[in-house]
Amino acid sequence: MDKKRLLFVDDEPMILKGLQRTLRKMRHAWDIQYAEGGEAALSLLTSRPVDVVISDMRMPGMDGAQLLGIVKERFPQVVRIILSGQLDRDMTLKSVKVAHQLLAKPCNVDILREALQKTFALSRILSDDSIRRVVARIDTLPSMPANCSDIMAELQAEEASIQKVANLIACDLGMTAKILQMVNSAFFGLFRQVTDVKDAVMLLGLDAIKALVLSINVFSAFNTRRIPFFDFEGLWQHSLATGGYAKQIMAQTTRDRELATAAFLSGMLHDIGKLILAVNFSDTYRDLLQKVPETASDRLTQETEMIGTTHAEIGAYLMGLWGLEPPILAAIAFHHCPQDSQVQAVGPITAVHLANGFDHVTRQSNGNGGEAWEDFDAAYLESLGITGDIETWRQACADLEGESL
């Protein structure tokens, strides 16, 4: 397997030497270069292509945002990461437009390694250079909001505090209202009304709360006022149903709550790429929506022809930059074509593929919209030996809301 090529950029030689010592153990997997400042980095990039540039923000002459702006223009396929200890609000806004990911310095070695490994896992899912070129043209590829970062940091702590998580959520009234609304929906099957965030955290568990927090923040990261033609509420309702159905399907196949939560999160975010495309290519996407496709695969073909990538691929790309796990990225990227994932086991991809179709069929039959929907990926489902289970799962999903799918 080819080594991944990394370029670290900082104006302080001692920091670069520290990185060399820290990352020595990764030399078997990564080809790592170091550049002292922006000009040196650009010179290296001209002679030796890389997969990822990780730059400090505050540097004399050419700062990190300026460097990554040039990298974005000249080398659009390169993943761009800011690694900095001093990011005020103005600097953050400046860097968001050119960086795919922001990491705080000093950065724990494991966190840095994990972030890079997730980036590489993402690149394996989205290896087509045409997708990366589309990403390079995007101005609005939001970073994780600060409040979400704080909550996620606590959720991922070794001894996460339920009280602290609840307090952090309670500081955001919009998020609190949305979480309580979702928790009290039929998809979570709670036997009483929940009115307190701490109760919600205790009843659902930290993994489920993590999925809810991420879902809410992803949707709220986009300025939908810029796209009045886009049915944001319809997308939210479809995403919530798909997430709920996917969770139910996984619950029918395994007692692993972590897998069920991953399926829920994948379902909630499977169509987030539609928002990305609508916000960044609004005129083109409005024209695309006016074309009525016969099938969902026709819609994907239209997206590829008119924009250069699909909502599934670009959605997985953004979620990868937000640090989601590869199984979730795969479920987002391949929810229309699970056979292409090469994953030969029932999991989040399977659950989201079926849940997405269940909800579209339901919406069409109820006259509530929904995309045109062809048959499910029969070859994929047959290869897993689950075609006989589909009707049972369909009914289990229908029972969530007392409807007939």
- Extract long-range pairs of 392-400: CB within 8 Å, 24+ residues apart: 392/252, 393/248, 393/249, 393/252, 393/354, 394/354, 394/358, 396/248, 396/249, 396/252, 397/244, 397/245, 397/248, 397/249, 397/355, 397/358, 398/362, 400/186, 400/187, 400/189, 400/244, 400/245, 400/248
- Reported as a pLDDT band with limits 50, 70 and 90, residue 88 is low
- DSSP codes, 287-326: HHHHS--SSHHHHHHHHHHHTSS-HHHHHHHHHHHTT--H
How does residue 29 score in pLDDT terms, banded at 50, 70 and 90?
A: confident
Confidence check: pLDDT of 17 > 50? yes
Q: Is the pTM higher than 0.75?
A: no
Asked if the model's pLDDT at residue 353 lies above 60, the reply is: yes
Closest to 81 in 3D by CA, of 115, 124, 46, 30: 115
pLDDT band (50, 70, 90) for residue 89: very low
pLDDT at position 146, please?
A: 67
Above pLDDT 90, what percent of the chain?
25
Residue 241 has phi, psi (to 5 degrees) of: -65, -45
Q: What is the structure's pLDDT at 311?
A: 93
Mean pLDDT for 322-340 is: 84
How high is the pLDDT of residue 47? 92
What digits encode the pLDDT tens for the residues 65-83?
Answer: 899 989 988 887 788 888 8
Predicted confidence band at 32 (pLDDT cuts at 50, 70, 90)? very high
Average per-residue pLDDT in the chain?
82
Q: Specify the higher pLDDT residue, 369 or 202.
A: 202
What percent of the chain clears pLDDT 70, i.e. is strictly above it? Answer: 81
* CA–centroid distance for 302 within its chain: 22
What the chain holds in terms of domains, given with CATH numbers, is 4-125 (3.40.50.2300), 144-220 (no CATH), 222-405 (1.10.3210.10)
In this prediction, residue 139 has a pLDDT band, given cuts at 50, 70 and 90, of low
The yes-or-no verdict on residue 122 having pLDDT over 60 is no
Which whole number is the average pLDDT over 311-330?
A: 82
Cα separations in angstroms, 282 against 225, 229, 239, 399 = 12, 9, 21, 38
pLDDT band at 128 (very low <50, low <70, confident <90, very high): low
- pLDDT for 37 beyond 90: yes
pLDDT > 50? residue 330: yes
Per-residue pLDDT band at 404 (split at 50, 70, 90): very low
**So what's the pLDDT on residue 261?**
87
What tens digit of pLDDT does each residue of 145-172 get? 667 778 877 887 778 889 999 998 998 8
Whether residue 169 contacts residue 176, with contact meaning beta carbons closer than 8 Å, is answered with yes
Determine the average pLDDT of the residues in 126-140: 65
DSSP-based three-state secondary structure for 394: helix
pLDDT digit string (tens) for 220-253? Answer: 877 788 899 999 989 998 998 999 999 999 988 8
- Which position has the higher pLDDT, 52 or 321? 52
Supply the pLDDT for residue 154. Answer: 83
Out of 26-30, 31-35, 259-263, 391-395, which region has the weakest mean confidence (pLDDT)? 26-30
Q: What is the pLDDT of residue 100?
A: 67
Q: Is residue 62 pLDDT above 90, yes or no? A: yes
Question: Higher pLDDT residue, 213 or 120?
Answer: 213
Phi and psi at residue 253, to the nearest 5°: -110, -20
Helices (H) and strands (E) counted in the chain, each on its own, are 21, 5
Model confidence at 403, pLDDT cuts 50, 70, 90, reads very low
Per-residue model confidence as pLDDT tens digits over 281-316: 899 999 998 886 666 778 888 998 998 889 998 898
Q: Give residue 384's pLDDT.
A: 86
